[in-house]
Structure 1
Amino acid sequence: MPNFLAHRLFRELRSLRLPVEDYVIAGSGPLFARAWIDDPTDLDIVARGAAWRIAAELGPIAPARYTSSQCVQLFDGDLDIFDDWFPGMGTVDELIKDADVIAGLRFLALDVVAATKKMMGRPRDVAHLAAMRAHGYAAP
């Protein structure tokens, strides 16, 4: 079992038993799964269909902070489950279809991770982009 699966955030995610074909792990999760960063502060999940319905039953739906999507926060904010991602990054179906699969979980493609982090431009995003470059990823 890859080490990242033992992390509290991934244990929380897996405890939800969301159908893996209906969500993709976004944000810093794809970097943590590759051991490119030390510790994510939370996990961002983009969900559709059954995965979104399960999340919506577990917590209140609220407007997302940075986008026009809807979000369900679970485990005291450890997991943010969105019904969409940022405009221009692809549909939820495309994000899931184009995802990288690591240990049976879908992770947002690195091109989308990089584009999202460039767009956000927060200090942690800049640090994450530097970590990506340090591990040989050259953003398009």
Structure 2
Amino acid sequence: MEINKDITRHPLIRRLIALNLKTDDYLIFGSAPLLAHGIRSNISDIDVLARGAAWDEACRLGIPATGTSTNSGAMHFWGGRIEVYREWISPGFVFEDLMKRADWIGRLPFASLPDVAAYKRKLMRPKDVDDLRAIQRNTARVSNRAVS
């Protein structure tokens, strides 16, 4: 597993950065952390959990919608390829706790891999099962390298 140091070059990440949301008030979730950690080579959308100033700005700039991951209120950008949520899929995902565990890559806050795995285990869609296997494979590879 290799951190994607060029993460800010990805077109969707560039669009997210262009929104100029306050980075202390949002967390990049969904499959994007897998891209940032080099587990995935591409993503088709970005899910963002936001609060405070970041949520307010998203509401000012975005199009109100129902989120595809949470069925709760969301703000859409670029045809829904970026979805900004105020709440995540269940009350157990508390923004402050998630942010404490965030991985900062390219000066952007990405949900930690254990938090992404917990989210994907909760949904268990076919793509989540594939992502969970990839997280497990890459975590095992890193652990084996540390031991050798």
Q: Does the TM-score normalized on the shorter chain lie above 0.5?
A: yes
C-alpha distance in structure 2 between counterparts of 1:89 and 1:130, whole Å: 23
More displaced stretch, 59-68 vs 17-26: 59-68
Asked whether 1:22 is paired with 2:25, we answer: yes
- The residue number in structure 2 matching 1:12 is 15
TM-superposed deviation, 1:27:
0.3
- Pairing 1:40–2:59 present: no
Letter in 2 for 1:82: Y
Unaligned runs of 5+ in 1: none
- Which residue of the partner structure matches residue 92 of structure 2? 89
Q: Deviations over 1:1-25 (max 9, x none)?
A: 9222111010000001111100000
TM-score under structure 2 length normalisation: 0.85
1:115 aligns with 2:115: no
Partner of 1:69: 72
Name the structure 1 match of 2:55.
52
1:125 paired residue among 128, 131, 135:
128
Assess, with a 3 A threshold, how the Cα gap between structure 1 residues 136 and 98 changes in structure 2: closer, same or farther.
closer
Letter in 1 for 2:51: R
Give the aligned residue type for 2:22: P
- Identity %, equivalent residues: 35
Question: Hey, what's the Cα distance between the residues in 2 that align with 1:37 and 1:69?
Answer: 27
Higher-Rg structure is 2
User: Please, what is the CA RMSD of the aligned residues?
Assistant: 1.8
Q: 2:101 aligns to what?
A: 98
* Residue identity opposite 2:50 in structure 1: A
1:134 to 134, 137, 141: 137
1:68 deviation in Å?
A: 5.3
Contact 1:4 1:10 in 2 (8 A): yes
Aligned residue pairs: how many? 138
Instruction: Give a deviation string over 1:88-129, Cα, whole Å, max 9, x none.
Output: 432122222221111211111211100111111111111111
**Cα contact 1:89–1:112 (8 A) shared by 2:** no
Contact map agreement 1:72 1:80 (CA 8 A) in 2: yes
Give the C-alpha shift of residue 76 in structure 1.
1.2
The alignment partner of 1:65 has SS state of: coil
Instruction: Tell me the TM-score normalised to structure 1 length.
Output: 0.90
Answer with 12-21 or 52-61: which moved more. 52-61
